[in-house]
Structure 1
Amino acid sequence: MKSYETEPQEKVDSTVGGERLYEPSSQIPEYKPPFRESLLNWAPFWGVILLGAILRFWGLGDKPLHHDESLHAYFSLQLLHNMESWLSCFNPNVSCYHYDPLLHGPFQFHFIALVYKISQLVGAPDNGVNTTTVRILAATLGTLIVGLPYFLRDYLGKWGALLACFLLAVSPGMVYFSRFAREDIYMACFTLLLVVSVARYIRDRKIRWLLLAALAFSLSYATKEATFLTVAVFGSFLGALIAWEIGVTLPLRSKFNPETAPWYLPRTAAPIALLLYVVVLGAVAKFFFGWLKALSIYVTDPKNTPAADLYVQGLKDRTVEIVPWLGILLGCYVLFILGREMFGHYHPAGRRGLAAKVDPQRQPVLDTILTMPWTHWFFAILVAWTVFLVLFTVLFTNIKNGIGDGIWQGLYYWIQQQQVARGSQPWYYYLLLMPLYEQIGVVFGLVGVVRCLVRPTRFRLFLVYWFVGNLFLYSWAAEKMPWLSIHITMPMLLLAAIGLEPAVVILVNLVKKSLSRSSAKGEGVFAGFTAVFGVVMAVLLLLPTLHNMYEVDYVHAADGPHEMYVYVQTTTDVNVIMAKIDALDQKMYNGKHLLPIGLMNDATWPFAWYVRDYTNVCFNYPEGCSTTAKSYPVIISGGDNLYNAETQYAGPGKNYLFNQYHMRTWWDEGYKPPPCVPTKTDKCTDQPPWGGVGVGLWLSYGDNPPRGAQFNPGLAVQHIWQWWWQRRAIGDTGGSYDMALFIQKGLGETP
C-alpha cells in the first residue's frame, strides 16, 4: 500500500500538478527564467487578476449601502474625524472610536478611514466619502484573493493555480462579497494569505513568509472573531500532522516476519498515532462544545450576566497587568541571545536536541518548528503584536482598555451570540445556498476532494480538511448568514481547481501535440476522451455560474426577493428618498445641507450615513428635539413605528404629506423546517416557534404548498431552472421592512 508520508519531496508531475513539500533552498540553486519566459508565465495570471478587478470595481457604488455597511461607513468616518484631532482622543472625557465586537474588529474602520483620506487627497467626489470609497477596501482585498493562488504553483501546479485564480475571480459569492463593505472578505483574504505564507515558509524557510503569516493572522484577528474558528480548523490539522510525523519514524511492519505479518499492519506507527490523536481530539471536542453551549446559556441568562461581565472585566485587568511583564521577559531573552553572540558564544553548527532526532525529509513540519531560527519567531511575534497593539488601541489612544478588549471582549461577545442565533437558519443552510450559485465550484470541488483523497499530499489533505472543517463549523455555529459562506466557498474553489486540472492539462497537451504535428507518444484515447468530457462539463457548469454572478452582482444586487445571497438588503428606494431630500434642500437652502430632518429611531440605519452631510438632523425624533419637532419639514420613519407615525403626522387635518417605501427586502425563507408543535413528549425546548414548510416542499411549491403535498423532484428542478435563467423567485417576493417619508405641505415637493 503506497504511503504518502514517505514522499515529502515528490516530484511535480506536469500532468497532475503535484507538490514539493520541502526542499532546502541550499540544495537547489534559484533559477531565473529569461524575461520572455517569465512574461509568458505571468501574463495569464495578470489577465485573470485584471478580470477579477474589473468584476469587483465596475459600478462599485451603484448599490445602496446595506444596514451593516452603513454602520461600518459611518463609524469609519467618525474615526477619520477622531484622527484629525488625534491628541484629543487621549482625553478619557472625549468620545472617540473604541473597539466594539458588535461591529467586529477594528481593522476595517482604520483602513476604510484611510481610504477616505486618500480619496480626499486625490479629489474624489463628496470629499472622498461616498458609497464607492466605502467599498474600495473590500474590492481591493477581494482582488488580492484572486492573485494569491499564484504563489501556490508548487502545490497546485501551474494550471491548477491558474484555474484557482479564475474560479475565485468569477465566483458569484466571492465577487458579490468583494463588492460589500463587510469584514468577511477581509478575513477571507487574510486567511488565504496565511495559508499561502505558511505553505511557502515550510518549503523555502525564508523569513519573509513567516512575517507575512504573522501579519495575516494578526490582521484576521483584528478583523473578525470568527478567526477563532480558523484557529480551531488549522490548529487541529497541525496537531494531526505532528502526530503523523511523530509516528512516521517508528517502524512497525519491519519488526514482524513478512510472511506472518497481518495485512492490515502499517509500515510505521503514523496511522496509529493519527488514530489516537483523532480519538482524543474527538473526546475533547465533544466536551468542549458541550461546555461552550452551557457557558453561552449561563452568560446570557439575565441573572448571571452581571457576574459574567464582572468576571470578564477581571480577566481584562489581569491581562493588562501581565502583558508588559511578558514583553519584558521576551526582551530579556532576546538580549541574552544577542549578548552571547556579541561575545562570540555562538551555538555549535549542526543539529542538537530534539532537532537532531528529526528527519527533514519525512518530518518537514516538525523540522520547520524545531530548526526555526530565533530571529524568525521573534520578528513574527513582533509583527503580530504591533498590528494588534496599533489597531485595538486605536493608534495608542486607548491602550489599557484596547489590550483587554482585544483579547477577551471579542471572545466573550462570540460566546454570547451562540444563543442569539442571528438569522435562525437551519443546519443545511449552506448546502442549499451554495449549489444555487456555485455550480462549477460545487461539482468540481467534490471531484477535487476525491482526487485529493486518492492521490494525497499533505497540502491536498489540508485543503479537504479546511473545506470540510469550515462547512461543519459554520453549519454548527448559531449565526448563519450568506456572507459567511465565502469561508466555505474559498477552499472549495481551490479543491475545484485540483479536480479540474488533470482534464485541462491533458487537453492542452493534446492541442499542443496537434498543432505541432508531433509524433511523440501522448495521452491515451481514454485519457483524452475523459479530459474532453471533463472540460465540456466544466464549460457547461461555468455558464450558469457566470450567469448567477452577473445577475446577483449587476442586475439584482439590491433585490433581496430574487437573490438568496442578498440578505435583508437596503433597496434603491433609499436613493429615491435622498433625491427628494436633496431637491428640497436645493430649493430651500441652495444645496447647503441645512434642511432640518427628523430621523426616527427605526430609520437611523442606513440614514445616519446618508444624511451625514446635513447639519440639522434630529436623531431619535421627536424626543431628540421635542421643543422644535413640529417645525421640521422632513421626517423619516421606519417600519417599527410606521402606522403610528402616519396617524400622528399625515392623518386627516395633519400637516404632512406621506409616502411609504421599502427600506429592506429579503428572500423567502420557506425552506426552513416547519415550526415545532409541542406535544407531551416533545416540549420544543430551544426551538423557534416559527419556520417554513421544509426545503423539499419549498423547492416544489414555494412557501404555500397544497395540503398533503409531497416533495416533487420534477417541480423542484423546474423551479431551480427557472430561477437560474429567468430569476423567477422561489416562494413569496413580498417580504419587506418599510419606511415612510413625510414632507410638510406647501413646500412644493411630494414624498
Structure 2
Amino acid sequence: MKYSRTTIAFFLILILAFILRFWQLDLKLLHHDEAIHSWFCFELLTKGAWQYDPSYHGPFLYFITTGLFALIGPSDIAARILPSLFGFAIIPLVYCIYRIGYINRNQMLVASLFIAISPDMVYFSRFLRHDIFMLFFTMLMLVAILYYFERGQTRFAALAAVAAAGALSCKEEMPVIVIIFILFFSFAAWKKRFVLPSQWKTDLLVSCVLVVAIMSVLYSAFFYHIDTLIGQNFSITAQGLHFETNTTGWYRAIEHWTAMHNQQRLGGPMYYYVPLFLLYELPIFILAIIGTLQFLLAGFHPLIFLKKVKNWIRERRYSLPIRDLAAVTLMQIRSGENLDRKSEEFFRFCIVWMIGTMAFYAYVGEKVPWLIIAQLLPMCFVATYKLNWQKAAFALAGCIFLIVMTWHVAFIPADINEPIVQVQNSEDMREVMALMDASDHVVIASKDYWPLPWYYRGDRWNKIEFYGSQMSTDTLTQKSPGVIILHDTESYPSIPGYQKKTYKLSYWFSFYDNEKRLPEYYLRRDGKMGSINIDVFTPLPA
C-alpha cells in the first residue's frame, strides 16, 4: 500500500508531537498547581474525598487522573500522561477538518505543525492543569459541529454535546467560549452559510439534555454531593420548594471568579498575553496578524481605491467613469476566482474565535500564562489563511524559532527565567528531598512547603513533623531531627549542632529586575529571578 506525501508528512508531524509530549515527562518537578492537583487525586483514590471547589476548577481532571492512578499508581509521570495524551490528540482533529474540505492540504500540515511544536502547546501538554483538557474538548466540539453541518447526522450533534460537557467540566471560563461558538454558528446558519438538517430542533434538545446530564454526574461526584446541584437544605414541603441558590456549585463558581476578577489577585495589563506571544509564538503571531488583515481587506483593491481617489481629485466624484468599469470588474472577478466559500466561512469563524478569546482573557482580572493556549489554538488556523509559498516558507523558517523555544522551556532540567513558568518549584528541591529521604525524622516549620505533601504522600508523611510557622529552636530540635526546614524570612542565623544551607523552593520571572534590559533578555533569556527560599538545617558531621 502506497501512502501519499500528505499522509506521510502528517504522520511525521504526529511522531514529532508524540515525542515532544511524552519524552522524559518527569524531567522537571511538578509545578505548584500540578502538585496540588496530583495530591487531590491521591486523596480521592485513597479516601474517596472530592467535592467541587471553584478555586480548583472542575471535576474532569480529578476523576480521569485518579482513574489512571488506580491503574498504574501515582507518580509524576502518571500525573502528566493524560495531559500529554489530550494535548497530542488535538492534532488528529486538525486532519478531520481537512477531510471535509474546510482547509486545504498545506493549511492542514502547517496548522498541525504549529500545534505540534508550539512552545506553549508543548509545555502545557506536559502539565497537569485543566486547560489542555478544555482545549481538546473545544477542538472536538468544533470538529463535531462542522461534521454535523456537513453530514446532518444526529451522532455528531451528540458528540458536540459530549465535548461541550467535557469542556464545561474542566474550567469556569468555558461558558464564554461556548457562547462565542453559539453566537457565530447561529448567525451563520440564519444567514444560510451553513445548512441545518431537518431534525436540528430535536438534535438541539437532545444535546442540551446530554450536556446537563453529563455535567450533573461529574459535578456532583456521581451524585455523592448532590448539594452541588440543588444546594444545601433542599426540601419539598406543603408550602412549596425550598432551594438555596447560593450554595449550588454554579452560583459559587460565579461568585468566586467574579471576586477573583475584581480582586485581581494575579492581575496584569490588558496586553499581558501579547509579550508572551512575542516571546514564544512569534512566527504564529505574525502570520495570524497578516491572515486577519488579509481576511478583513479581502474586498479592498488598492488599484481601484487609487482610481477612485484620482477621479475624485480630478472631477470631485468618487464613482468611477465608464472607461474604468470594465477593467475594475475584470479585476474583481479574477480576484474571486479561487475563493472557497466554505473555507472562507471557516476562517471567518477562526478569526472571531481568536479575537473573542483574546478580548475575554485581556479583560479578566486573572492573568496567568496557561490561559494563552485557548487563544493560541484558533491563532494557529488563522496563521494559515491564504497560505501561499511565501507564507509557507516563512512558517517553515519560523519553526526553527519554535523548536528552539520549546527545547528551552520544556527540556532543560534547570530553573529557567521565563514568564511561562508562572511560579515553578525549583530543581533545588531534588537535593532537599534527597536529604529528607536519608533522614528518619524531618521537621518543617514554614508556611511555604508545597510540593512536599505530594512527594511525601501517604505513609511517607509519617516521619514529618509539621509546623505552619517558625518555632523555638528547643521545639525544633527536641527529637533530634535529621532535617529542619524553615522559611528563610522566618529562620535563625544558626541552630546549635546544625549546619545551614539555603535553597530555592520556587521561582518566577521578575519583570521588575529585567525591565531595563528587555532586548538583552529577549535574546539571552537570563537575568535575576524572584524566588521563595527555605533554610535547611542538617546535623554537623561527627
**TM-score, normalised on structure 2?**
0.81
Q: What are the within-5 Å matches in structure 2 for residues 2-17 of structure 1?
A: none
Which residue is equivalent to 1:733?
528
Contact in 2 for aligned 1:560/1:567 (Cα 8 Å): no
For residues 570 and 142 of structure 1, do their structure 2 counterparts lie closer, same or farther at Cα, with a shift above 3 Å needed? same
Could you tell me which runs of 5 or more consecutive residues in structure 2 were left unpaired when the two chains were aligned.
232-247, 299-338
Contact in 2 for aligned 1:622/1:629 (Cα 8 Å): no
Which residue is equivalent to 1:646?
492
For residues 638 and 101 of structure 1, do their structure 2 counterparts lie closer, same or farther at Cα, with a shift above 3 Å needed? farther
Q: What are the within-5 Å matches in structure 2 for residues 605-620 of structure 1?
A: 605-612=450-457, 613-620=460-467
Deviation at 1:634, TM superposition (A): 4.5
Measure the CA separation in 2 of the matches of 1:629 and 1:76.
34
TM-superposition CA deviations, 1:426-463 (whole Å, max 9, x none): 22111111111112211221232234442663221110
Contact in 1 for aligned 2:57/2:171 (Cα 8 Å): yes
**Are 1:162 and 2:18 counterparts?**
no
Measure the CA separation in 1 of the matches of 2:266 and 2:511.
10
Decide which of 57, 61, 80 is 1:108's aligned counterpart. 61
Which residue is equivalent to 1:439?
282
Contact in 1 for aligned 2:34/2:128 (Cα 8 Å): yes
Which residue is equivalent to 1:196?
143
For residues 483 and 82 of structure 1, do their structure 2 counterparts lie closer, same or farther at Cα, with a shift above 3 Å needed? same
For residues 401 and 560 of structure 1, do their structure 2 counterparts lie closer, same or farther at Cα, with a shift above 3 Å needed? same
TM-superposition CA deviations, 1:581-626 (whole Å, max 9, x none): 1123xxxxxxxxxx33323352331111111133233333579999
Q: What are the within-5 Å matches in structure 2 for residues 45-194 of structure 1?
A: 45-83=10-48, 96-119=49-72, 128-153=73-98, 154-194=101-141
Measure the CA separation in 2 of the matches of 1:232 and 1:379.
18
Contact in 2 for aligned 1:98/1:402 (Cα 8 Å): no
TM-superposition CA deviations, 1:51-107 (whole Å, max 9, x none): 111100111111011111110010010011134xxxxxxxxxxxx211111111111
For residues 50 and 207 of structure 1, do their structure 2 counterparts lie closer, same or farther at Cα, with a shift above 3 Å needed? farther
**Are 1:371 and 2:199 counterparts?**
yes
Q: Which amino acid aligns with 2:56?
A: L
Which residue is equivalent to 1:599?
444
TM-superposition CA deviations, 1:221-271 (whole Å, max 9, x none): 1111111321342233245435x62xxxxxxxxxxxxxxxxxxxxxxxxxx
Q: Helix, strand or coil: the match of 2:451? A: helix
Deviation at 1:470, TM superposition (A): 1.0
Q: Which amino acid aligns with 2:41?
A: S
Measure the CA separation in 1 of the matches of 2:37 and 2:395.
38
Q: What are the within-5 Å matches in structure 2 for residues 529-544 of structure 1?
A: 531=389, 533-544=390-401
TM-superposition CA deviations, 1:256-290 (whole Å, max 9, x none): xxxxxxxxxxxxxxxxxxxxxxxxxxxxxxxxxxx
Which residue is equivalent to 1:742?
537
Deviation at 1:536, TM superposition (A): 3.1
Measure the CA separation in 2 of the matches of 1:499 and 1:565.
31
Which residue is equivalent to 1:448?
291
Q: What are the within-5 Å matches in structure 2 for residues 85-484 of structure 1?
A: 96-119=49-72, 128-153=73-98, 154-241=101-188, 245=191, 362=192, 364=194, 367-368=196-197, 371-372=199-200, 374=202, 376-402=203-229, 404=231, 405-453=248-296, 454=298, 457-484=344-371
Larger Rg: 1
Contact in 2 for aligned 1:636/1:739 (Cα 8 Å): no
Measure the CA separation in 1 of the matches of 2:380 and 2:350.
10
Deviation at 1:144, TM superposition (A): 0.7
Deviation at 1:630, TM superposition (A): 2.6
Q: Helix, strand or coil: the match of 2:532? A: strand
For residues 539 and 622 of structure 1, do their structure 2 counterparts lie closer, same or farther at Cα, with a shift above 3 Å needed? closer
Decide which of 549, 553, 557 is 2:406's aligned counterpart. 549
Which residue is equivalent to 2:436?
581
TM-superposition CA deviations, 1:315-372 (whole Å, max 9, x none): xxxxxxxxxxxxxxxxxxxxxxxxxxxxxxxxxxxxxxxxxxxxxxx3535x34x632
Which residue is equivalent to 1:495?
382
Could you tell me which runs of 5 or more consecutive residues in structure 1 were left unpaired when the two chains were aligned.
1-34, 84-95, 120-127, 246-361, 504-530, 585-594, 671-691, 704-715
Q: Which amino acid aligns with 1:130?
A: S
For residues 628 and 569 of structure 1, do their structure 2 counterparts lie closer, same or farther at Cα, with a shift above 3 Å needed? closer
Contact in 1 for aligned 2:453/2:461 (Cα 8 Å): no
Q: Helix, strand or coil: the match of 1:108? A: helix
Decide which of 416, 423, 429 is 1:568's aligned counterpart. 423
Measure the CA separation in 2 of the matches of 1:601 and 1:103.
23
Contact in 1 for aligned 2:443/2:464 (Cα 8 Å): yes
Deviation at 1:660, TM superposition (A): 0.8
For residues 212 and 634 of structure 1, do their structure 2 counterparts lie closer, same or farther at Cα, with a shift above 3 Å needed? farther
Measure the CA separation in 2 of the matches of 1:401 and 1:207.
31
- Alignment RMSD: 2.7
Contact in 1 for aligned 2:110/2:395 (Cα 8 Å): no
Q: Which amino acid aligns with 1:614?
A: W
**Are 1:659 and 2:504 counterparts?**
no
Q: What are the within-5 Å matches in structure 2 for residues 625-636 of structure 1?
A: 630-631=478-479, 633-635=481-483
For residues 363 and 218 of structure 1, do their structure 2 counterparts lie closer, same or farther at Cα, with a shift above 3 Å needed? same
For residues 618 and 403 of structure 1, do their structure 2 counterparts lie closer, same or farther at Cα, with a shift above 3 Å needed? farther
For residues 431 and 615 of structure 1, do their structure 2 counterparts lie closer, same or farther at Cα, with a shift above 3 Å needed? same
Identity of matched residues, %? 27
Which residue is equivalent to 1:329?
none
Q: Helix, strand or coil: the match of 1:541? A: helix
Measure the CA separation in 2 of the matches of 1:159 and 1:130.
40
Measure the CA separation in 2 of the matches of 1:184 and 1:223.
7
Alignment coverage as a number of residue pairs = 477
Q: Which amino acid aligns with 1:645?
A: S
Q: Which amino acid aligns with 2:531?
A: S
Of structures 1 and 2, the one scoring higher in RCO (CA 8 A, sep 6+) is 2
Contact in 2 for aligned 1:665/1:736 (Cα 8 Å): yes
TM-superposition CA deviations, 1:293-318 (whole Å, max 9, x none): xxxxxxxxxxxxxxxxxxxxxxxxxx
Contact in 2 for aligned 1:142/1:185 (Cα 8 Å): yes
For residues 492 and 403 of structure 1, do their structure 2 counterparts lie closer, same or farther at Cα, with a shift above 3 Å needed? farther
Contact in 2 for aligned 1:434/1:442 (Cα 8 Å): yes
Measure the CA separation in 1 of the matches of 2:408 and 2:106.
28
Measure the CA separation in 1 of the matches of 2:453 and 2:226.
29
Measure the CA separation in 2 of the matches of 1:239 and 1:635.
62
Measure the CA separation in 2 of the matches of 1:542 and 1:638.
45
